[in-house]
Structure 1
Amino acid sequence: MKQLVAALAVAAAFHTPSYAAAKPGSADARFTAIYTAEWKWRQQQRLEDEEDDVKGVESGMPHVGAAVQMERQKKWEETLRQLESIKPAQLSSKERVNYQVYRAQISALLDNQRFREYEKPLNGDSSFWSNFAAEARRTFHTKEEYRNYLAQLNDVPRYFEEEIANMRAGLARGFTPPKITLEGRDKSISSVTEAKPEDVVFFQPFRQMPATIPAAEQEALKAEGLKAISGKVIPAHAELLKFMRDEYIPHAKVTLAAESYPDGKAYYQSKIVEFTTTNLTADQIHQIGLDEMAKIRGEMQEVMEQVGFKGDLPAFLQFLRTDPQFYAKTPEELLMRAAWIAKKFDGKAADYFGRLPRSRFAILPVAPEIAPFYTSGRGGPGGYWVNTYNLPARPLYSLPALTLHESAPGHAFQMPLAMEQKGRPPFRNAYISAYGEGWALYSERLGTEMGIYETPYEVFGMLSYQAWRASRLVVDTGIHAKGWTREQAQKYLMENTALSSHEVMTEVDRYISWPGQALSYYLGEMAIFEARKKAELALGSKFDIRAFHDTVLELGSVPLPVLKARIDEFIAAGGKSPYPKE
């Protein structure tokens, strides 16, 4: 904990704005002009990456070729030069916060361009083609949206060609996901090439169309959709499949470490900064992980004693992984249990949160073509996706923690609430992993206070998930900076968490192919708990958990030093809610 606080203090010394009052002036106007122009350009480039389900349907696919990528690098280099000409002390209080968020965002975007991250548009978790397939699961409402979607389908060959060219460039310089993490990933491509046009996911929007579109037009749109899928989409996937099987996977890099990439040490450190918003080193993070794992194992031992288990931790983990009482028998049972847990939260929400998001979320199964390699669940605006593939790998005792993390008060709660805030520039809706994942993991622990966990086994499931995220600090740095093998990482997770062997394998491959992202969760949670502890000690009886949570969530997604500074302001103001009483 001391290392994290020190790292946040260092980051804050360089970047954290003071919250003292300042009069708006020319610095505000210059800064506003910079981010307004860049955001407009970013929208034109289709790089805004908004988590908003109500955004329109774009006409055609994005441009991602090498020339476009160089233009983006130059644009962000110029933007960063412009930002450095502004002194944060001259900005108003509100714009100083915006400045820190925006500068960190531009720095991360620029680092990704400099390291040519676009030459590796896939990892063990997702890929450019699976991201496009997700577009087909959206609901279209108008004829114009269907027309734009048809333009996307017809533009797939050009888009895939550009992505393949980028991947070839990455392959030539050893910048690919490690080969072991690519095994079997071609199945999500062959699921398209081996199906009839009307059976692929891309035809899904045409199966049930809005009644506001006349029947004759519906039939015409369906015919155009089938033509585009059979003539453009499936052949493009066939070319991609050939490239993956004949060229990319066979020649992908064998080494695992991010530090084995070109300029690897600097690359991995850039990922640490991007995903943790701190200046911690790999060695420091590794040690934090080891220290935190020791604490969590002590809590696990207490639960084992509570249930009267006679044996050591490995024996208890084996019991949890194999006893049928802990597993759903059908996908529907798993989904229904998730729904029940989500509704339990609804009954307690008002005691812990003053402001609730207006938007709702659905509980849905993960799509079958990606489920075998997908994480156990994922949440965001409008949805909580539960992986119902391989039910013996989906323990019910971990479902409460998973649900709190992915639905409410985690991702499907925090993200919409942030987007509902008024008076902020649109770049503030960009997702910062240390904050977002830190909050979601904090939500899991919060479930103990809220009474969500009903059995000691469910408490252990929460602790296992805490250990899972703490162990990521050890495993991610172990793999990418300390020479750990894949088997070594798998063994560490198997020995320290109740995750199934299937989940351990998919998770480790995710960490191998996505350097640094796994570090977000636990470091973010630690920062939130540290801020809460500070507020509780300073405010005493004046501390209101609802006001604290509202303050953290009202910020939206921010670097951890900004969160720290905002809670200092919250304390100085006497622990008042950010929302006026209505």
Structure 2
Amino acid sequence: MTPDSSRLTRPASAIDDAANAYTEKLLALDPGFATELGLPGYETEYRDFSPAGLDALAGAARRALAELATLEAVDSVDVVTLHAMRERLGLAVETLESGWPLAELNNIASPVQGIRATFDLMPTATVTDWEHISGRLANVPAAVDGYISSLRAGAAQGLVSARRQVDTVIGQCERHAAADGFFAKLAGGASLTPETVDAGASLPAPLTAALAANADLARAGYGALVTFLREELLPQAPLADAVGRERYSLASREFLGSAVDLEETYAWGVAELERIIAEQEAVAGQIRPGATIEEAKALLNADPARQIQGTAALTEWMQKLSNAAVAGLAGSHFDIPEIMRSLECKIAPTQDGGIYYTGPSDDFSRPGRMWWSVPEGEDTFTTWAETTTVYHEGVPGHHLQIATATYQSGLLNNWRRNVCWVSGHGEGWALYAERLMDQLGYLADPGDKMGMLDAQRMRAARVVFDIGVHLELAVPARWGSGTWTADTGLEFLRRNLDISAGQLDFEFNRYLGWPGQAPSYKIGQRLWEEIRDARALRDGAAFSLRDFHTEALNLGSVGLDTLKAALLG
């Protein structure tokens, strides 16, 4: 299949028009989302983080649902759009009505991080680009003020995130507000991209001064947030980390697009963890006969050929491995048009921990990017542990998935391509991709396979931890006794997550503060594999894995119930 023929087209329908109109409304309500998509016209503003802003989002969803109720599907694409939008928008309204978005605060995915992270995606090549950055810096205080008003309104309803989350976020905000924090460094390091301007060009002095002044405003905004969190919100924050069944069930549906039986899923997670550990034990014997998992990993860590020193070498290694995966998979197991084959591997400008992907701009002028947020003080990396991560974030993982949806502009409306993102679908696909790369022979080296199994073990352990702690279920006999608490859960994570102390602290707080999200990876993988196997059984000899991947990815990101309906009928 040639790159040109892989781009599908169809006439836009009334349902597409409604979906696109809803998308335009979202872009107007959330300029930061437009920046995430690389769309012009929204460069300096933020969304309204106040209760009024949340009400506006709920109102837009209700109006779109009302319009969709009057429309009929004209083809199979419309059928999927209707199914997906009714599920996603209906759940969004239900979630907003619950009041919990007023209290949104955690260490990874709340307005605290979003307001700052917008700058990571803003271009820096021209004077105009830096003028936009300066303008958005000036608007940080208002964005923070709106957020504070929502947190205050949530607290008035008894909705406050746990004390542990508030403490963690205070530390993040203090770092951003510091004289040597993110905003100060952004303004102080402002320069034009050498590749796109004449040699020796520099920013005009008035713009440099404006950047410095507006960076100070942004720092002051985060400083005000620190004061509010410490003096007003922290005293109201509950000590308990567990969110309980009602909130957890709602969050689980948000991240999966499916209402799963939580007790059955918990039991499956326990069994899956046991299965992966047994597989690791077998691989450990391949690394050295009779070796335990811990001994095998110690051998891998001590192998100089598997070590990387410094972030520059890490970036180079990531890029080389990513490029090789694209070259090897394109045209064989996946359709990868030329425009999608560019993927940049970068070190993130923060030190919070974690690895993440950001998609390409709508016209692919900004490529997809894999970001590694390296905790302070960490400078040694092991390739055996991270090979599978490159496949997870890049190809055939998130990059192939997200870039395909962006690419299929003639097939999918803008909501399907750019707005709908379901963690269980997206992260489930990325875990599916990890295991697939083993099946395709890319992890034939026992060390690299041990790394993949370690990643899978972590995701299975998260199912057990997340559901177990938040629902306060019984601890499996292998891992202790009684019911789960945050403290017993932390020890469980130490035994199953082979990551640094900094990364473990980050992950532990993430699971406690973002309920339902972490298990969506492994649960999503489970459902992806079940759907593929059911499709293979149904199609028999006619089944093509490459065609299945193409059809599935061309759907864009949808809830897992929608995915099942679309691929199995």
Asked whether the two chains share a fold, i.e. TM above 0.5, the reply is yes
After TM superposition, the structure 1 = structure 2 runs for residues 332-343 of structure 1, keeping only pairs within 5 Å, are 332-343=312-323
- List per-residue Cα deviations over 1:339-373 (Å, max 9, x = no partner): 232122123112211233614221111224xx2x3
Q: Do 1:197 and 1:203's aligned partners in 2 also have CA atoms closer than 8 Å?
A: no
1:222 to 193, 208, 224: 208
- List per-residue Cα deviations over 1:197-225 (Å, max 9, x = no partner): 99714416732266489979733322222
Are 2:99 and 1:113 aligned?
Answer: no
The structural deviation recorded for 1:512 is 0.6
1:491 partner amino acid: E
Are 2:43 and 1:49 aligned?
Answer: no
The structural deviation recorded for 1:111 is 2.5
Pair 444,52 (structure 1): closer, same or farther in 2 beyond 3 Å: same
RMSD: 3.2
Question: Identity over aligned residues, as a percent?
Answer: 23
Partner residue of 1:154?
Answer: 138
Could you tell me how far apart the structure 1 residues matched to 2:451 and 2:563 are? 28
Q: Do 1:476 and 1:516's aligned partners in 2 also have CA atoms closer than 8 Å?
A: yes
- SS of the residue corresponding to residue 206 of structure 1 reads coil
Could you tell me how far apart the structure 2 residues matched to 1:496 and 1:441 are? 17
1:444 partner amino acid: E
The structural deviation recorded for 1:495 is 2.6
1:123 partner amino acid: N
The structural deviation recorded for 1:182 is 3.9
Q: Which deviates more from structure 2 when the two are superposed, residues 530-539 or residues 321-330?
A: 321-330
Q: Do 1:338 and 1:403's aligned partners in 2 also have CA atoms closer than 8 Å?
A: yes
Partner residue of 2:5?
Answer: none
Partner residue of 2:461?
Answer: 471
Are 2:150 and 1:166 aligned?
Answer: yes
Pair 565,127 (structure 1): closer, same or farther in 2 beyond 3 Å: closer
The structural deviation recorded for 1:497 is 4.1
- List per-residue Cα deviations over 1:101-123 (Å, max 9, x = no partner): 11122123212311223323431
1:364 to 330, 341, 346: 346
Pair 325,506 (structure 1): closer, same or farther in 2 beyond 3 Å: farther
After TM superposition, the structure 1 = structure 2 runs for residues 88-167 of structure 1, keeping only pairs within 5 Å, are 91-137=74-120, 138-141=122-125, 145-167=129-151
- SS of the residue corresponding to residue 24 of structure 2 reads helix
Partner residue of 1:206?
Answer: 190
- List per-residue Cα deviations over 1:526-565 (Å, max 9, x = no partner): 2222232233334444433322221121111112233223
Could you tell me how far apart the structure 2 residues matched to 1:204 and 1:544 are? 54
Are 2:482 and 1:482 aligned?
Answer: no
1:164 partner amino acid: I
After TM superposition, the structure 1 = structure 2 runs for residues 234-383 of structure 1, keeping only pairs within 5 Å, are 234-259=219-244, 265-310=245-290, 312-313=292-293, 327-350=307-330, 351-356=332-337, 358-359=339-340, 360-368=342-350, 371=351, 373-381=352-360, 382-383=368-369
Pair 504,46 (structure 1): closer, same or farther in 2 beyond 3 Å: same
Q: What runs of 5+ residues in structure 2 fail to find an aligned partner?
A: 1-10, 361-367, 474-483
1:35 partner amino acid: A
Q: Do 1:139 and 1:205's aligned partners in 2 also have CA atoms closer than 8 Å?
A: no
Could you tell me how far apart the structure 1 residues matched to 2:56 and 2:282 are? 57
1:328 partner amino acid: I
The structural deviation recorded for 1:82 is 4.5
- List per-residue Cα deviations over 1:458-501 (Å, max 9, x = no partner): 10110111111122221111121125212222222333343344
Q: Do 2:283 and 2:446's aligned partners in 1 also have CA atoms closer than 8 Å?
A: yes
Q: Do 2:466 and 2:518's aligned partners in 1 also have CA atoms closer than 8 Å?
A: yes
Could you tell me how far apart the structure 1 residues matched to 2:182 and 2:451 are? 42
Could you tell me how far apart the structure 2 residues matched to 1:217 and 1:204 are? 12
2:339 partner amino acid: R
Could you tell me how far apart the structure 2 residues matched to 1:146 and 1:452 are? 42
Are 2:393 and 1:406 aligned?
Answer: yes
Q: Which deviates more from structure 2 when the two are superposed, residues 327-336 or residues 459-468?
A: 327-336
- SS of the residue corresponding to residue 443 of structure 2 reads coil
Could you tell me how far apart the structure 1 residues matched to 2:17 and 2:311 are? 51
2:413 partner amino acid: P
Could you tell me how far apart the structure 1 residues matched to 2:497 and 2:246 are? 31
The structural deviation recorded for 1:454 is 4.7
- SS of the residue corresponding to residue 136 of structure 1 reads helix
1:480 partner amino acid: H
The structural deviation recorded for 1:450 is 3.2
Partner residue of 2:439?
Answer: 449
Q: Do 2:346 and 2:369's aligned partners in 1 also have CA atoms closer than 8 Å?
A: yes
Pair 165,296 (structure 1): closer, same or farther in 2 beyond 3 Å: same
Partner residue of 1:9?
Answer: none
Q: What runs of 5+ residues in structure 1 fail to find an aligned partner?
A: 1-23, 260-264, 570-582
Partner residue of 1:435?
Answer: 425
Q: Which deviates more from structure 2 when the two are superposed, residues 73-82 or residues 342-351?
A: 73-82
The structural deviation recorded for 1:191 is 3.0
Pair 418,116 (structure 1): closer, same or farther in 2 beyond 3 Å: same
Q: Which deviates more from structure 2 when the two are superposed, residues 250-259 or residues 144-153?
A: 144-153
2:389 partner amino acid: L
Question: TM-score w.r.t. structure 2 length?
Answer: 0.84
Partner residue of 1:515?
Answer: 515
Partner residue of 1:5?
Answer: none
Pair 357,473 (structure 1): closer, same or farther in 2 beyond 3 Å: farther
- SS of the residue corresponding to residue 391 of structure 1 reads coil
